[in-house]
Structure 1
Amino acid sequence: VAYLVIGIFRGSITINFNIRLEFENKWGKA
């Protein structure tokens, strides 16, 4: 169970990081 929770937690962090990078790339340079 611990591995599952850690996997979801780390997965959400990487997803949020990718979304932030896309947001900065699209709107930061506009």
Structure 2
Amino acid sequence: MANYTAEDVKRLREATAAGMLDCKKALDEA
């Protein structure tokens, strides 16, 4: 299970303008 929430993905998307899948992948690797 992932160690992040939808809110984390949303914040990362707003900060980086990256796509949803890219954000999820980055958080999975973090």
Instruction: Calculate the TM-score normalised by the size of structure 2.
Output: 0.39
Instruction: Calculate the TM-score normalised by the size of structure 1.
Output: 0.39
Q: Which has a greater percent of helix?
A: 1
